[in-house]
A and B are shown apart, each in its own frame.
Chain A
Amino acid sequence: MSNDTPKGSGQSSASAELPPSLPPDELLKRRERLEGSLEQSIEWFKQLLLPDTDFVIRHFDIYGRFPAALFYISSMTKQAAIHNDLLKPLMYMPDHLKDAEIRLDGLETFILRKTLYFSDIRTSEEYQTLTESIMRGYALLLVDGLNRGIMINTRDIDKRAVEQPPTEQVIQGPREGFIESMSTNLALMRYRLATPDFRTHIRQLGRLTKTPVAICYIEGVVDMALVDEVKTRLSKIDVDGILDSGFVEQYIEDSHLSPFPQIQNTEKPDKAVAQMLEGRVVIIVEGSPFGLIIPSVFSQFYQTTEDYATRFLQGSFVRIARVVALVFSLIFPSLYVAIISFNPELIPTEFAVAVAGGRAGVPFPSLVEVLIIEISMEVLREATIRLPQQVGGALSIVGVLVVGQAAVSAGFSSPITVVVIALTTIGSFATPAYNAAFALRMLRFPLIIISGMFGLYGLMIGLILIGNHLLSLKSFGVPYLTPAVPLDMQGLKDLLIRGPLWWMRRRPAFLHPRDSTRVARQSAEDMTSPGNDVLENNSPSGQGG
């Protein structure tokens, strides 16, 4: 890297005109436009950026005649491109243009139109733009005597490969996942959605990070009022940095104090596209592999793309199983506590005797017992995520099996408590959306405590509180429990069961899609008419003729 850097010149006296204590961002505000000689500009950029060792200033002469300098950050740019595609054609006049007469005032056009074969080239005279483009990995070309800078996209940032998203595994369906690079993510969506209706609005968020944020939607499907509202909410964000889409989510959600997520995130481009097709808006943030889906209702959090990729009986069955797991993960331990401590007469006598036998050696009331096991399960679960992968599997087996068994034989808890908590924990993993499962995971604790105090009566009061909260929640004006409440008959086909695809002829009405037709009427009718039994005839058609 250091061979590129001309370090000869040293600090000259030109820097004296500005106080050196100012941070670069402040310095930038002092000057607006490119002016003066190349030497002055170089001094200026040196002052602005030279403390970074990976900032490179390369002096050279264009075609051996015009003194120029190339500015770039070596760590963000493709070195080979700068050497072969930028410096070489600028220093050596191409053979077929040897005779052309070039003057300084025609130089810019000549370079742009005849010399450089980069597609992404911009020009500007503003320091702000020029500096920003250097920071984004562009190479900046300044020519002595020209008051415009030429910015060439030589950006080259290492990115990981497109992999299967770890949080949203599927058995059937596309396996690609978003990565951190926004351009890749947009490409992953774009190739699935080859229509000019697919719009992306890119804006920058974060005073210092200047993170590009893309608002994606399908024009002609989405309600434009929703897009405007998303833009308005985004424009209210003024922070120093946005490092993940989760930051954006927290700024634009409706109820910040609710345990329930009101914006869904996804790592899957096919899911993002499916949601846009329903009339939702997707936000992609540079540097984050999670896209945000706006708005979101509760039912989305237990649905997966796989439900739609598989046949409808299969999809419906799996979905019902998931809802059961969801409900169980919320109420199972508190139901156990309530019945054991207040209403053991509810359960069959044989079972009640077995439970009492199991609890015989346990000194604590069932509330304390369940809380202890629940908390240790939470600790175990969190520890398993942080453990190095090599020991994680082994240690979790030790933790769950050995400690659980030992706790029972030590008289620390009854075997049934362990069974209840284990089922609850496993059940909570059946919810595809981690953040929604987390809400229920948190709410389990107050429910256990209130059940320990007031039995089934307390459990119901807790559940009604949660229910009322869910009913009052909104995501961008959409009630959270849509389509159950308010009732939407069309939406019911996709709530607990996943109806056959041609049943769901219309896009969800609560999103106010501009065009609500999903399945053409004719196509839906064709699905119900009997098919043509081409192979039923015994004589093959090839010979029958």
Chain B
Amino acid sequence: MNRPATVTTLQAAALVAGSIIGVGVLPLPRVATLAADTGGPLVTGVAVLAAWLALWLITKLGTLFPQQSIFQYSEILLGRWLAAIGTLLLICFFAFLASLAAREFGEVVVTAVLRKTPLEMTVLAMLLLAAIAARNDVRTFSYIHMFYLPFILAPGILIIALSLKNAVSLNLLPLWGNDATALSVTHGILTIASLFQVAFVVTIVIPHMKQPQKALKASSWGVVIAGGLYVAIVLATIAVFGSEETRLLIWPTLELAKTTSLPANILERLDAAFLAIWVTAVFTTLLSTYYLTIHAISQLFRLKDHRLLTYFVLPFIFWMAMLPQSVLQLYQIVELVGRIGLCITFGYPIILLLVWLLRRRGVSSS
């Protein structure tokens, strides 16, 4: 690969954080409280740690092959055909993830603000936005994440800060939750950890980094930023609503935004404004997923230019986005796909790493 290395460590960290923070924030406190009611923040924290571990592994693998993306070095490690199966699995998974993210946010928009707009329009608008942006090169891709990260973090932090007015610290106790079962906690950890899967995009960015060896630092920072925001949002939501109320809300974070208002009565309600700004967060996540899909396909078929593909893939992703029948079914699928995805995004790199270790041992012994 003789492309210029342009992505700085800071941009890579922003890219990881921006990719992770997405539409998953909206139902997050519900998932966390369902797992271990007041232990939700703790569960989220553990999930962040687990996600960081997985990402650390993936990034480590990437730094072993600093010149290639995962789709390229998997061919070296596994051979062309086995690697093609792995890549194909990743393509299907991320394409599906993109469609689910677009659908999920489309549902939120149609339910919360644009009640008369057809769901198809809001989903298609998001997908088109991602498809147009996915035509850019990796450099612009990382610039986009870098540029929007402040606009993603600022409203999140603002909502958390403003909700402190209504927070009751007693709601957070006991910290480890009431009668949480091991099954529900594991379930919750896996579901929350699956929100971090888009960080997988770091594997295609590493070959474009100025200092690929700093990728570990970048992805760690990305997870710390995103994970910090996640834990804080779960904390704030439970502190305001209490765990019993939180588990009844579809999108507790949006409800949190509803309860807050700016001082001096500038805006009476914040939910619509928050949702509008949250378009940015969803866009960056969707862009990463979309970009990963396009990139994988173009490397699988050895295409020089990924631009044409972006529009070609769009109808398929749109079709998949319209598959779930309702919001409830959507969330069942999201959880299911998330957990299957963990096997792919976490299991596949582990296999690659093992093969690498075996091969290296083979080389050194012979």
- B276–A457 CB distance below 8 A: yes
Across the interface, name the chain A residue whose C-beta is closest to B279: A460
Contacts A345-B268, A468-B144 given; does A454 touch B273 at CB 8 Å:
no
Interchain Cβ contacts within 8 Å, total number: 91
Among A17-25, A305-313, A483-491, the stretch that binds chain B is A483-491
Given the complex of chains A and B, what is the CA–CA distance between A457 and B121 in angstroms? 11
Q: Cβ of B146: which chain A residues have Cβ within 8 Å of it?
A: 485-487
Within 8 A of A (CB), among B73-100: none
Given the complex of chains A and B, what is the CA–CA distance between A396 and B109 in angstroms? 43
Given the complex of chains A and B, what is the CA–CA distance between A471 and B151 in angstroms? 15
Taking the nearest CB of chain B, how far is it from the CB of A505, in angstroms? 22
Q: Cβ of A346: which chain B residues have Cβ within 8 Å of it?
A: 267-269, 272-273
Given the complex of chains A and B, what is the CA–CA distance between A247 and B273 in angstroms? 44
Among B132-140, B167-175, B314-322, the stretch that binds chain A is B132-140
Q: Cβ of B265: which chain A residues have Cβ within 8 Å of it?
A: 348
Q: List 18 A-B contacts (CB under 8 A).
A: A343-B113, A343-B272, A345-B272, A346-B267, A346-B269, A348-B266, A348-B268, A454-B121, A457-B275, A457-B276, A459-B276, A464-B129, A465-B132, A472-B136, A472-B143, A486-B143, A487-B10, A487-B11
Q: How many residues of B contact A (CB 8 A)?
A: 34
Given the complex of chains A and B, what is the CA–CA distance between A47 and B171 in angstroms? 101
Given the complex of chains A and B, what is the CA–CA distance between A345 and B125 in angstroms? 24
- A468–B132 CB distance below 8 A: yes
On B, residues with C-beta under 8 Å from A are: 8, 10-11, 109, 113-114, 117, 121-122, 125-126, 129, 132-133, 136, 140, 143-144, 146-148, 265-269, 272-273, 275-277, 279-280, 283
Contacts A343-B272, A471-B144 given; does A460 touch B280 at CB 8 Å:
yes
Starting from the known contacts A454-B117, A460-B279, A461-B129, 14 additional A-B residue pairs (CB-CB under 8 Å) come to: A343-B113, A345-B268, A346-B267, A348-B266, A456-B113, A456-B273, A460-B280, A461-B126, A468-B132, A468-B133, A468-B140, A471-B143, A481-B143, A481-B147
Given the complex of chains A and B, what is the CA–CA distance between A310 and B280 in angstroms? 38
- B144–A457 CB distance below 8 A: no
- B129–A454 CB distance below 8 A: no
Within 8 A of B (CB), among A432-459: 454-459
On A, residues with C-beta under 8 Å from B are: 342-343, 345-349, 454-461, 464-465, 467-468, 471-472, 479, 481, 484-487
- B140–A455 CB distance below 8 A: no
Taking the nearest CB of chain A, how far is it from the CB of B152, in angstroms? 12
Taking the nearest CB of chain A, how far is it from the CB of B270, in angstroms? 8
Please indicate which of the listed interface residues A346, A454, A457, A486 has the most CB atoms of chain B within 10 Å of its own CB: A457
Taking the nearest CB of chain B, how far is it from the CB of A183, in angstroms? 42
Q: Given B10, B109, B132, which contacts A457 in the complex, CB threshold below 8 Å? A: B109
- A457–B280 CB distance below 8 A: no
Contacts A468-B132, A484-B147, A487-B10 given; does A460 touch B272 at CB 8 Å:
no
Q: Given B122, B147, B280, B283, which contacts A471 in the complex, CB threshold below 8 Å? A: B147
- B147–A467 CB distance below 8 A: yes
Q: Cβ of A467: which chain B residues have Cβ within 8 Å of it?
A: 144, 147-148
Closest 10 CB pairs of A and B: A456-B276, A460-B279, A343-B272, A472-B140, A471-B143, A485-B147, A468-B133, A460-B276, A485-B143, A348-B265
Given the complex of chains A and B, what is the CA–CA distance between A484 and B125 in angstroms? 28
Taking the nearest CB of chain A, how far is it from the CB of B184, in angstroms? 35
Across the interface, name the chain B residue whose C-beta is closest to A480: B143
- A460–B277 CB distance below 8 A: yes
Across the interface, name the chain A residue whose C-beta is closest to B284: A464
- A457–B269 CB distance below 8 A: no
Q: Given B122, B126, B129, B268, which contacts A347 in the complex, CB threshold below 8 Å? A: B268
Given the complex of chains A and B, what is the CA–CA distance between A471 and B284 in angstroms? 14
- A457–B122 CB distance below 8 A: yes
- A471–B269 CB distance below 8 A: no
- A347–B267 CB distance below 8 A: yes
- A457–B11 CB distance below 8 A: no
- B11–A486 CB distance below 8 A: yes
Across the interface, name the chain A residue whose C-beta is closest to B121: A454
Q: Cβ of A486: which chain B residues have Cβ within 8 Å of it?
A: 8, 11, 143, 146
Taking the nearest CB of chain B, how far is it from the CB of A327, in angstroms? 13
Taking the nearest CB of chain B, how far is it from the CB of A512, in angstroms? 14
Across the interface, name the chain B residue whose C-beta is closest to A450: B125
- A457–B8 CB distance below 8 A: no
- A479–B268 CB distance below 8 A: no
- B114–A342 CB distance below 8 A: yes
Taking the nearest CB of chain A, how far is it from the CB of B77, in angstroms? 33
Q: Cβ of B275: which chain A residues have Cβ within 8 Å of it?
A: 456-457
- A464–B143 CB distance below 8 A: no
Given the complex of chains A and B, what is the CA–CA distance between A458 and B122 in angstroms? 9
- B276–A345 CB distance below 8 A: no
Q: Cβ of A472: which chain B residues have Cβ within 8 Å of it?
A: 136, 140, 143
Q: Given B136, B269, B276, which contacts A468 in the complex, CB threshold below 8 Å? A: B136
Q: Cβ of A487: which chain B residues have Cβ within 8 Å of it?
A: 8, 10-11, 146
Q: Cβ of B280: which chain A residues have Cβ within 8 Å of it?
A: 460, 464
Given the complex of chains A and B, what is the CA–CA distance between A472 and B147 in angstroms? 12
Given the complex of chains A and B, what is the CA–CA distance between A347 and B143 in angstroms? 34
